[in-house]
Structure 1
């Protein structure tokens, strides 16, 4: 079982599904929302159990982002037209057993860092 929570513990989530697509997103929205890079993996939406209130923000016409209304932790990303949900790897209880499989939106990355860990970049 994979489980995690926000910084204050008001929102908790868990899944028994095998997380897929562990990635680090370098897009401008993820950088602004997280303060740097947002790492996530996804599972089918119906395989994720969430306890506590999540506030959703429509960050574009294609997706929404979920966060804790108490501490502000950015926990979830979900495309409007998909049946999967991504969750923040940084919010997971350790050990996770997960490894990044890719970096995405690298053309949008900040100019203040380099990506140099040998993981594929898109």
Structure 2
């Protein structure tokens, strides 16, 4: 699988080689604000499978370094320093991400009551692996 994407203005571009390690949805406050929506839809790839080009801005969140285009502001990626994984905001792909189906949901304690849990996915009240899940 080879996918490509980028920001709204085209200054930042990326290509992804191979299948994602995992695909998920997050309802936490950071993801809501970063996506401007009720949740964030993302895929995790090996950092070595991602080729990035263009200037990136960065701000630190609990998930690591959130990368965005400093020209148009599009949120694109997230990775923590030293991590070998990169989180891609799937709405930034050039083609619709229809084949990338979420396997889990995070921060379900913040999911909107009008939004039903996705059938067949792991449900995590907070982050994956947190006590009480």
TM-score, length basis structure 1: 0.87
Structure 1 unaligned residues grouped into runs of 5+: none
More relative contact order, 1 or 2 (CA 8 Å, 6+ apart): 1
Separation in structure 2 between the aligned mates of residue 102 and residue 40 of structure 1, nearest angstrom: 11
Separation in structure 2 between the aligned mates of residue 64 and residue 47 of structure 1, nearest angstrom: 18
May I ask how many residue pairs the two structures share in their alignment?
120
Structure 2 unaligned residues grouped into runs of 5+: 125-133
- RMSD value over aligned CA atoms? 1.7
Aligned to 2:92: 91
Task: Please list every run of at least 4 consecutive aligned residues from structure 1 whose deviation after the TM superposition is greater than 4 angstroms.
Answer: none
Separation in structure 1 between the aligned mates of residue 58 and residue 120 of structure 2, nearest angstrom: 30
Aligned to 1:38: 40
TM-score, length basis structure 2: 0.80
Contact 1:2 1:16 in 2 (8 A): yes
Give the secondary-structure state (helix, strand or coil) at the position aligned to 2:119.
coil
Contact 2:21 2:46 in 1 (8 A): no
Q: Of residues 102, 105, 113 in structure 2, which corresponds to 1:103?
A: 105
